[in-house]
């Protein structure tokens, strides 16, 4: 099944969008778009205009925060289990950040082996107020942004199949970043804020100086420079080549035409949208997690059902009113019905037979609900029975709070040790009802006798047989 990958590159005064179609693991670029905006209130209309048209179920959208908004640290852990890293991450970062970790949202990349029983983890923290401001237009416009990464990591992840070892220079209006790429990974990077305010001479000096520093620190030399972004001008390219630097551009084409440098960050984000969701940073999590598509679909089904009932009432009323020589009232009801129809389904432009069209829409929405496994988890009692069945009998667990939702369950409770909660999580993951059991918090209580924990269980969508 073909799906769309959409990259949204937001610069200081411009939005650029790249759309690719992915089929059987191969992505093909199909369109590019660009809009300017001035005041903050102009941002959402400009973005909605770029994303105008039919939205498809399963679209994947990705964007990236500026590098200057993140605090990136490299940590070392004696384990590679993502759940254990998640539980210990904030504590480790709290000693290395210039601000309180409680005011931030954190994320981390896949751990990399770094010697015997040691794993290197690249972690990042972003202020929650920054995330609120950045994501507000997307939530206001109901734009389903699934991935919010951090520059320049998002660009490297998106372009890794089109780059060799080298230095990726992203030159935008907001900032300029230079990233050292070794074996397909971002090994180190530098950034310069205020790209639009810098003179061409300042930009050239920064690129030359930091390029040499990054390569020398890694014991490398004469690596190629890859230029992307609106600041990758022919003048800069010529100046770098005059300095003896090998300059290249990631090769992307739209209908046999090479993609201009200013659109390459958006193309990289489109490729990032189709990447492994656990490969890089994603700050679309926790309190900023995207609401499930089933919630929106459920509202649509309810509205459609109400409208269908209203349609039937309207037709019955119309027959009665015509019989009673009050056709003007029937016309008023029909106008109201059309207004509600347009409000409920604004993308439907041709209104021919409202009951028939609504019946078709309901059937279509029901098909979509089956695709995403709506309601497969059963009742809360069924879920509780499954949790009890899959909890090891030799472990004492006191569940103090049970929170049930359409996408999963949260358990707050107390057990005897960290090892016990790990065993509980692993055992619950073996249940066909759950696809993931994530320990979001685990800490020893005051007297040190027990461990308080928070455990998130995500439904797999498979119906549990009683």
Name the token pair of 436: 């993931």
The predicted-structure confidence for 143-183, as pLDDT tens digits, reads as follows 999 999 999 999 999 999 899 999 999 999 999 999 999 98
Give residue 294's pLDDT band: very low, low, confident or very high (50, 70, 90).
Answer: very low
Name the residue among 203, 87, 114, 85 with its Cα closest to residue 439: 87
**What is the DSSP code string of 96-152?**
T-SS-GGGEEEEEPPPEE-STT-EEEEEEEEEHHHHHHHHHHHHHTT----EEEETT
d(CA 2, CA 18): 16
Decide which of 3.30.70.1170, 3.40.50.1110, 3.40.50.620, 3.30.1360.100 is the CATH code for 380-459. 3.30.1360.100
d(CA 416, CA 149): 37
What is the sign, positive or negative, of the torsion defined by CA atoms of 282, 284, 285, 290? Answer: negative
Give strand pairing partners of 258. 253
- For the domain made up of 1-161+255-290, the CATH class stated in words is alpha beta
Decide which of 3.20.20.80, 3.40.50.300, 3.90.25.10, 3.30.420.40 is the CATH code for 164-249. 3.30.420.40
**What is the DSSP code string of 240-267?**
HHHTT--EE----EETTEEPPGGGHHHH
Mean pLDDT to the nearest integer, 290-300? 55
Q: Is the pLDDT of residue 220 over 80?
A: yes
Cα 10-181-247 angle, rounded to 5 deg: 80
Q: Is the pLDDT of residue 87 over 90?
A: yes
d(CA 350, CA 352): 6
Domains 1-161+255-290 and 380-459 share a fold: no
pTM above 0.75, yes or no: no
Domain limits, the chain? 1-161+255-290, 164-249, 293-371, 380-459
User: Which residues have C-beta within 8 Å of that of residue 182, sequence separation ≥ 6?
Assistant: 165, 218, 220
Range of weakest confidence among 25-29, 190-194, 311-315, 418-422: 311-315
Collapsing DSSP to helix, strand or coil, 193 comes out as strand
């Amino acid at each position: 099944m073909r799906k769309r990958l959409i990259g949204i590159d937001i610069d200081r005064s411009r939005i650029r969008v790249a759309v690719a179609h992915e089929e059987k693991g191969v992505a093909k670029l199909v369109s590019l778009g660009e809009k300017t905006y001035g005041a903050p209130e102009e941002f959402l209309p400009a973005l909605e205009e770029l994303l105008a048209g039919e939205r498809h179920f399963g679209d994947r959208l990705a964007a990236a925060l500026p590098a200057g908004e993140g605090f990136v640290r490299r940590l070392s852990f004696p384990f590679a289990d993502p759940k254990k890293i998640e539980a210990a991450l904030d504590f480790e970062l709290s000693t290395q950040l210039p601000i309180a970790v409680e005011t931030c949202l954190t994320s981390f990349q896949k751990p990399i082996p770094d010697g015997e029983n040691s794993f290197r983890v690249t972690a990042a923290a972003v202020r929650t107020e920054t995330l609120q401001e950045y994501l507000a237009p997307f939530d206001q416009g109901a734009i389903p942004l699934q991935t919010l990464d951090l520059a320049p990591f998002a660009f490297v992840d998106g372009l890794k199949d089109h780059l060799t070892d080298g230095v990726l220079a992203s030159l935008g209006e907001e900032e300029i970043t230079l990233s050292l790429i070794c074996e397909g990974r971002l090994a180190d990077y530098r950034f310069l804020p205020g790209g639009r305010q810098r003179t061409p001479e300042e930009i050239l000096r920064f690129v030359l100086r930091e390029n040499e520093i990054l390569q020398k620190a890694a014991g490398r030399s004469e690596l190629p420079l890859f230029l992307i972004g609106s600041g990758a001008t022919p003048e800069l390219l010529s100046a770098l080549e005059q300095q003896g630097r090998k300059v290249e551009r990631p090769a992307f084409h739209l209908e046999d035409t090479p993609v201009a440098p200013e659109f390459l960050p958006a193309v990289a984000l489109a490729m990032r949208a189709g990447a492994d969701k656990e490969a890089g940073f994603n700050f679309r999590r926790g309190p900023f997690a995207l609401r499930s598509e089933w919630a929106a679909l459920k509202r649509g089904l309810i509205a459609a059902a109400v409208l269908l009932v209203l349609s039937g009432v309207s037709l019955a009323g119309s027959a009665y009113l015509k019989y009673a020589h009050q056709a003007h009232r029937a016309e008023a009801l029909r106008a109201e019905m059309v207004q509600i129809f347009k409000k409920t389904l604004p993308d439907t432009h041709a209104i021919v037979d409202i009951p028939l069209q609504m019946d078709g829409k309901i059937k279509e929405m029901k098909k979509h609900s089956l695709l995403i496994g709506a309601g497969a988890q059963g009742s809360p009692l069924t879920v509780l029975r499954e949790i009890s069945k899959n909890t090891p009998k030799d472990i004492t667990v006191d569940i103090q709070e049970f929170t049930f939702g359409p996408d999963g369950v949260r358990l707050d409770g107390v057990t005897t040790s960290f090892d016990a909660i790990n065993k509980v999580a692993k055992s619950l993951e073996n249940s066909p009802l759950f696809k993931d059991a994530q320990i979001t918090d685990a800490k020893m209580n005051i007297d040190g006798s027990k461990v308080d924990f928070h455990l998130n269980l995500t439904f797999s969508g498979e119906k549990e047989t009683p």
